[in-house]
Structure 1
Amino acid sequence: MQSAVTDQVVKKLARRLGTSAQAIRMVTDPKTQNYRVYVQRQGRKKRLIEAPKVILKRIQRSLLDTTFSHEHPSTWSHGFCLGRSIFSHAVLHTRKDVVVTMDIKDFFPSVDSLKIHPVLRSFSPDESELQLMMQLVTRNGRLPQGAPTSPHLANLVFSPIDEAIARSVGTRWVYSRYADDLAFSGHDPVDMLIDTVSEIVLRNGFCIATKKTRVMRQHHRQKVTGLVVNRGLNLSREKRKNWRATLHRINTQGMEAAEPHCPFKLNGFAAFCKGLAKFKEAHA
């Protein structure tokens, strides 16, 4: 049974977040449209983005900074974690006999109020305040993909599952997770690994997207979150080729002429390449 959210609870949380009680009441009013919903396309992938509008986003960011960030995700989580990255995730699986990647289906939408409740309980013993925070971080009873609080809360929800997976594979496999991407590397029987992990994930209310599971052996290209890991961290041959062609167009035709032919966003990819080079230099 949900506790009624009193004015006193609203004012108390508002003070802690540095906002007004009126703002909190407005964004928790079910009649208010607080999200901009649209479909984001990345190649063949489609993602439903539920982006909070300005006031709600500011409140969610404050909740993350003042409250949720005090609780750290598991050591196996590398996505949206301070001091960890897509590079620290992938480097764990370099130069291995076998690499297995698995994908959690509908990661954020699968994190519903029942899963979030125990996490929020660790931040507030007051059920009324907990319910207020729940209203601020969920949409239709689930984590919205696009809210600044969603990645961290999803990581906290999944932390016990990370531990269960790591415990089940023991020292036979190296395990790490970047958001909804699970990666394993080692040399043990693969079928047993996939069955065990799938069962643990399903038992905890998530589901593996089986069509996206990949088993990659050393004599074939091994990729983890888009990076080739056979002999260290590297971009794929296709990406290197596209990047060289783009740089050539920029040098010969200028930025405006090159951009329409570029298969990726220039600034984002340049930052990614710079980050990769910096990571490799620091871990040489």
Structure 2
Amino acid sequence: MPEPRDLSYLRILLGREEEELEELRQLTAQYHTVEVPKRRGGFRTIAIPPDDLKAFQRDVLKFLLRDFRIDGAVHGAVRGRNTKTHAAEHEYAQAAYILDFANAFGHVTRPMVEKVWRRCLFDGDEVSYLTDIVMCNGSLPQGAPTSNAIWNLVCEDLDTVLGRFAADHWLVYTRYVDELVFSHPRHLSQELRRAIRCTVRDAGFVLNPRKSRYCHVRNGALPITGISVSDGRLRLAKRRRERLRAFLHRAARDSTISRERVEGRLGEVRLVYGELPPRLRRPYEQFLETRSASAL
């Protein structure tokens, strides 16, 4: 059985002295919060770590968390997987049951995170230290680089249980961060949907009942992480395309909107379509023309 990793291992791997490690732990009291608008109205509070702590968290992510094998059903915050690969798993489904966790990161407890570090072969004080480094006020902060990876590892047992449940009922199961999707070639009965909810709750997770929805293609394409899925085709939802079009028109008039921000918003469009569809291409070209003219 491998020996537990101690503080010396941590210092060498992350290139930090013991005093510096303790100084970084003190920085966990210096998070600041920002209010970010939600797509459907309201605001989300995000806790942002100070720069030195965030840089250290990136090292923790790179050297301690990235090498874990993540379940094939998981598509969020996994290298080589994304919203498109997530939606593509359901491209020929006729029905989908889509659920969201309630305040996913906020319900992660200290014992859950400590279990992750023990999987990394740490023990005792090292487990306590690393847990302090990645948590804020007793939960996972959305603004920390480590949080998505920690969340995926916290959900490992749940993903295994739900994957087996799906296989037993001829379902396809995937998860993208806090969104769970179960699809079927025909339909999912109310009894089956109830069993899914009970399985998630029995594993200790809390669902948001307002965001749970059952969709069938007879009522339109299946909406999976912002992508419309129907008859083997993937498209961005119409409302999302129209919002992007309006954003491009606004960016052409507003010089404070950077090209980097525009390209970032269009990244998923190119991911899904390969290139910009005509309805977005023209306003994007107008944006580029206005920026070229202003540079003269």
Q: Scaled by the length of structure 1, what TM-score is found? A: 0.84
CA distance in 2, matches of 1:60, 1:241: 37
Please say if 1:92 is aligned against 2:93: no
Please say if 1:237 is aligned against 2:263: no
Classify the secondary structure of the residue corresponding to 1:202. Answer: helix
Give the corresponding residue for 1:18.
15
Give the corresponding residue for 2:171.
173
Give the corresponding residue for 2:104.
107
8 Å CA contact 2:97–2:188 kept in 1: the answer is no
8 Å CA contact 1:198–1:207 kept in 2: the answer is no
CA distance in 1, matches of 2:36, 2:129: 29
Give the corresponding residue for 1:204.
203
8 Å CA contact 1:113–1:134 kept in 2: the answer is yes
Give the corresponding residue for 1:227.
227
Query: Where does 1:112-261 land on structure 2 (aligned, <5 Å)?
Result: 112-170=109-167, 171-186=169-184, 187-221=186-220, 222-231=222-231, 232-244=233-245, 249=249, 255-256=252-253
1:8-48: CA deviation from partner (whole Å, max 9, x where unpaired): x6555233212333332122238x63312222212314322
Q: Deviation at 1:245? A: 5.8
Closer, same or farther: CA 201–15 of 1 in aligned 2, 3 Å: same
Closer, same or farther: CA 245–110 of 1 in aligned 2, 3 Å: closer
Closer, same or farther: CA 275–129 of 1 in aligned 2, 3 Å: same
Match of 1:73 among 67, 70, 73: 70
Q: Which amino acid aligns with 2:237?
A: S
Closer, same or farther: CA 109–257 of 1 in aligned 2, 3 Å: closer
Q: Deviation at 1:243? A: 4.3
Classify the secondary structure of the residue corresponding to 2:215. Answer: strand
Q: Deviation at 1:257? A: 5.0
Q: Scaled by the length of structure 2, what TM-score is found? A: 0.80
Give the corresponding residue for 1:56.
53
8 Å CA contact 1:19–1:59 kept in 2: the answer is no
CA RMSD of aligned residues (A): 2.5
More displaced 10-residue stretch of structure 1: 73-82 or 135-144: 135-144
Q: Deviation at 1:188? A: 4.2
Q: Unaligned stretches of 5+ in structure 1?
A: 1-8, 280-284
8 Å CA contact 1:101–1:182 kept in 2: the answer is yes
CA distance in 1, matches of 2:25, 2:85: 38
Q: Unaligned stretches of 5+ in structure 2?
A: 1-5, 276-296
CA distance in 2, matches of 1:202, 1:94: 27
Closer, same or farther: CA 96–135 of 1 in aligned 2, 3 Å: same
Closer, same or farther: CA 189–238 of 1 in aligned 2, 3 Å: closer
Match of 2:43 among 46, 55, 62: 46
Number of residue pairs the alignment of both structures matches: 263
Please say if 1:267 is aligned against 2:266: no
Closer, same or farther: CA 135–85 of 1 in aligned 2, 3 Å: same
Q: Which amino acid aligns with 2:270?
A: K
Closer, same or farther: CA 218–134 of 1 in aligned 2, 3 Å: same
Give the corresponding residue for 1:82.
79
8 Å CA contact 1:78–1:88 kept in 2: the answer is yes
Closer, same or farther: CA 131–191 of 1 in aligned 2, 3 Å: same
Q: Which amino acid aligns with 1:167?
A: R
Closer, same or farther: CA 130–215 of 1 in aligned 2, 3 Å: same
More displaced 10-residue stretch of structure 1: 187-196 or 166-175: 187-196
